[in-house]
Every structure is written in structure tokens, then in C-alpha cells.
Structure 1
């Protein structure tokens, strides 16, 4: 579904990603794990077209999207839920959700998809008319995820979905990701919470200093000595 081949990218003269290759198959949950500053967010920004690679290629469903604008990549069904949620705090929950249905293919089914999303997030049903600023951090993360689903994504990408959340809420967020996958959406997660994300994923990549240093099934990575020592504290 998604394939990166030899992708390098960065900001100005600074290279952040160096020869990154990875792939995601339809229906999978794939994670990219690594320390802060390893290049995880840069990878997502490059996939969605917010950064242009300096080398390499990106293909989505067989189409070369390397040079496409972020708007065009989104229209193909690649949706990013950014770190920090980036909601509209003074708008209501309902207004934020409807903002998610901006993708051309999502607009005709906006009402039906909203109903499906609220079935998945029943807590938001009672908060549709509340301003986002009044919600807890966990509820705001639910709004961010629900807004992403309103775009009817083919590939939904999460950037640090557990950041700043209490442990109980983190567990709820990963449970929700499992439910989303069950609806047929392919998922890519970038996360510092390595254990939780590997337990949720089918496969994973370990990114260090802008390079992929390990790739394997999630179960194998949990047992890998380097991962256990560097990221799991075992």
C-alpha cells in the first residue's frame, strides 16, 4: 500500500532522514519506534507531503506521490493525526469533527460517517456542543482521532498518540486504535511508548539517527535484545 525507497529528507541543509526504506501492506498496523529526535515525525511529514524528500521515492497504492503537495496526498486517503492534536480549541467538538471531512471523497458521506464515528466514540456524542478547550486531554485526543476518521482514510497515521496522557487513558487510546483497524483502516503509528505500540502492531521499524536499524514482526522486536535494553528498560 505504501512504500518508501531510499528516502532522505530534512530541513534546509540539515538531513534528518537518511536512506529510509519501509513498506506498509493494506490492513496492517505498522509502528516506527525510536528516541526523541530520531526522525519519526519527519518521516510522517515526508509521507504526507509536508516535506519534500531530497532523495528516494514514495509510492501509495502504486502511485508515485514523492512530489505531490500535502493536499493531493490527503485527497488520496493518507491522513495524519499530528502530535499535540492541533484541534481548534474555541470550536465545538462537532465543528472540529466536521472539519475532518474536507477530503473530496469524504464530503458526500459526511453525515453517515459522523454517525459511525460517534458509535466508535460514544463519549463524544454527549460533548458535541462543548468547546474543545473544556475537554480533558484524553477526550481531546479522542476528538483528534475521530476527526481523522471523518476523512475516511485509507492510511491513518498517528504521531505520538499517547503523549501527555495518563496511563489509563493511554490504554484506552490503544484499544481505540485496535477498533479502528477492525474497520479496515491501515494504520502507521509513530510512538515513544515502545511497549504499548509494539503490542498493538503487526510489524515495526526501529529508527535511530534518521536511519532504519531494525525491522521485524512486533513480537520479535519485543524479544530483541537491543530493543529491550534501549527502549524497554529490560
Structure 2
């Protein structure tokens, strides 16, 4: 479904990604793990069209999307759930969710999709008329995930979904991700909580200093000595 071929990207004169190649198959859950500053968020932002590669290609369902802007990638079915949730704080939960159904393919089916995401996140049903700013951090993360699902994406990308959350809430977030995966969704996830994300994934890539240094099945990466020492503290 998604393929990056020798992608270089960054900010201004600073190159963050160096010759990054990876792929995500339809129905797969793939994770990118690495330390702060490794280029994980930059990778997702580049796929989403928020950054434009300076070299290399990005293919989505066989189509070259390297030069497309963010609103064009959304219309193709790529949705990014950003780091830090980035909700509309003074809008209600319901309004935030409906904003997720902006693309045409989702707009016509938003009532049915809303029912589906509220079944997945029943706590949000009780808070539909509350402003997003009044919710707990965990509830806000649920809104962010549900808003992403409202777009009915073909590819759902998560950027640090557990960031800043208490351990019990982290477990709930990953339970929600597991439920989404159970629907057959294709997922690309960036997460510093390496153990949780590799448990949820089929395959993974290790990104260090803007370069892919390892790729394997999730189980193999959990057993890899470098991953265990560098990211799991074992």
C-alpha cells in the first residue's frame, strides 16, 4: 500500500531523513521505532504531505504521491493522528469528530462511521457535548484517534499516541489500537514505547539518525540484542 524509496527530507537546510526506504502492505501494522530526534515524526509528516522530500519517491497504492500536498493525500485516504492530539479545544467532542469526516469519501457516510467509533470508544458517547478542552488527556487521545477514523482512511498513521499519558491510560490506548487493527485497518505507528508498539505490530523498522538501521518482524526485533539494549533497557 505504501512504499518509500530512498527518501531524503527535512526542514530548510537541515536534512533529517537520509535515504529512507520502507513499505507497508495492505492490512499490515508496521511500526517505526527510534530515539527522540531520530526522524520518526518527520517520516510521517513527509508521507502525509506536510513536508516535501528533497529526493526519493513515495508511492501509495502504486501512485507517486511525492509532490502531493496534505489535503491531496487526505483525499487519497491517508490520515495522520498527530503527536500531542491537536484537537479543537473550544469545540465539542461531536464537532471534533465530525471535522474528521472532511474528505468527500467520508462525508457521505459520517453518521454510520460516528456510530462505529462511538462503539469503539463508548466513553466518548457520554461526552459528545463537552468541549474537548474539558476532557482528560486519555479521553482527548481517544477523540484524536476517533477523529482520524472518521475520515475512513485506507492508511492510518499514529504519531506517539501514548505521549504524556499515565501507564494505565497507555494500556487503554493500545487496546483501542488493537481493536482498530482487528477491523483490518492498515496502520503505520511511531511510538517511543517500544515494547507496546512491537507487541501490536507485524513488522518494524528501527530509525537512527535519520536512517533505517534494522528491519524485521516485530517478534524478531523484540529479541534483537541491539533493540533490547538500546530501547528496552534489557
Instruction: State the shift of 1:181 in Å.
Output: 1.1
Equivalent in the alignment of 2:135: 135
- Distance across 2 between alignment mates of 1:163 and 1:17: 22
Q: Name the SS for the 2:180 alignment partner.
A: helix
Equivalent in the alignment of 2:222: 222
Equivalent in the alignment of 1:160: 160
Equivalent in the alignment of 1:53: 53
Matches within 5 A, 1:132-211: 132-211=132-211
1:181-234: CA deviation from partner (whole Å, max 9, x where unpaired): 111210010011101100110000000000000000000000000000000000
TM value normalised by structure 2:
0.99
Instruction: State the shift of 1:177 in Å.
Output: 0.5
- Distance across 1 between alignment mates of 2:166 and 2:189: 19
Q: Does 1:2 align with 2:2?
A: yes
TM value normalised by structure 1:
0.99
Gaps of 5+ in 1: none
Gaps of 5+ in 2: none
Q: Name the SS for the 1:44 alignment partner.
A: helix
Q: Name the SS for the 1:105 alignment partner.
A: helix
- Distance across 2 between alignment mates of 1:73 and 1:131: 29
- Distance across 1 between alignment mates of 2:112 and 2:230: 45
Q: Does 1:111 align with 2:131?
A: no
Equivalent in the alignment of 2:19: 19
Equivalent in the alignment of 2:41: 41
Q: Name the SS for the 1:31 alignment partner.
A: strand
- Distance across 2 between alignment mates of 1:151 and 1:69: 17
Instruction: State the shift of 1:117 in Å.
Output: 0.8
- Distance across 1 between alignment mates of 2:67 and 2:8: 13
- Distance across 2 between alignment mates of 1:129 and 1:184: 30
Instruction: State the shift of 1:12 in Å.
Output: 0.9
- Distance across 1 between alignment mates of 2:230 and 2:182: 31
Matched positions, count: 234
